[in-house]
Amino acid sequence: MSRRRHTRFPLALRTLAGALALGAAGSAAAGVSYRLDRPSAAPGETVTIEAVYFNEGSARANWEAPPELVLQWRSQDGQIVRSLAKLAGDRASYSVPVNNFARMAWTAVVPSTARGLQAVSIEGQPSMMALDATGRESGTVASTPA
């Protein structure tokens, strides 16, 4: 009797582990990845935030690109400056087939108070980018041509 109980328990565990593995393997998603068009820009310059919306799901996905993104620029001393990035172009609605992607871009001006390395985030999005806002004339490593 105790032998039967021991053989059932591992079988139940194996079944549960298999079901969890299948569930994790079958999960597909759609999402957005953001990046800045360059590693450095001087305060007052315009930069482009490029995005790729990808669909790895099992059906066509619809995505409405926001006309504006709220950016947070965080300096090395913790100061936060907010600014807006505007969608480049008129198209904001996308229907993305399975295993495909759509690209879009927003433009923003580097805040005049931005100095040094800036951590740039988009409010409401789990993304973080970096920009050297020192400017080319100072000759920092990130802004010096190779």
- At 67, which CATH number? 2.60.40.10
- Residue 144 within a domain: no
For residue range 80-134, list pLDDT tens digits in order.
999 999 999 887 899 999 999 999 999 999 999 999 999 999 999 999 999 999 8
Report, as an integer, the average pLDDT of 27-35.
85
Give the whole-angstrom CA distance, residue 28 versus residue 66: 23
| Residue 22 within a domain | no
Q: Which two tokens stand for residue 132?
A: 């050297």
- Is residue 143 in some structural domain? no
Whether residue 146 is contained in a domain is answered as no
Residue 14 within any structural domain of the chain: no
Structural domain including 131 reads: 28-138
Domain count, the chain: 1
| 21 in any annotated domain | no
Give the H or E element holding residue 5. helix 2-25
Residue 74 lies in a domain: yes
pLDDT at 6 over 90: no
Average pLDDT, rounded, for the chain: 84
Q: Which of 137, 136, 64, 54 is nearest to 98 (CA)?
A: 54
Q: State the pTM of this model.
A: 0.73
pLDDT tens sequence across 45-73? 999 999 999 999 999 999 999 999 999 99
The CA-atom distances, in angstroms, between 86 and each of 66, 94, 109 are 9, 17, 10
